[in-house]
Structure 1
Amino acid sequence: MFDVSALGLTCSECGTAINELPFQPTKREDGTYGNLYCYDCNKKRMRDRGPRRDFGGGRGRY
């Protein structure tokens, strides 16, 4: 986990302060970090997205 507390990041969904991320955020060309979500909002977004689809990869067929 990366300590990002010094960057003053907040969740794009609920506004909660984000102190740790599982990756090092990088700035975009416009100087922002884009949309970042706290643990709870990210979990909700993944749940609401639905199940992952199987595209048939990895079954030995090419």
Structure 2
Amino acid sequence: MSKNTNKTKPRSGQARFPGIASQARDLGVSRTHLYLVLTKQRQSARLMAAWLKLNKSAA
């Protein structure tokens, strides 16, 4: 009898930040850097302000 040793959580099927790759490219930063700033694991006032401005104009 085999045990389920998969310890990863199932994905929710929904992206946390849709379009983050193209937004990062538009802002001139890496997707990883933008993700870390948006999740508050890294600080960048300039990038956060630019991202908010970009999303405000898209809405």
Q: Flag whether TM exceeds 0.5 (same fold).
A: no
For CA contacts below 8 A with separation 6 or more, give which structure has more relative contact order: 1
TM range (shorter): under 0.3
**Structure 1 length as normaliser, TM-score?**
0.26
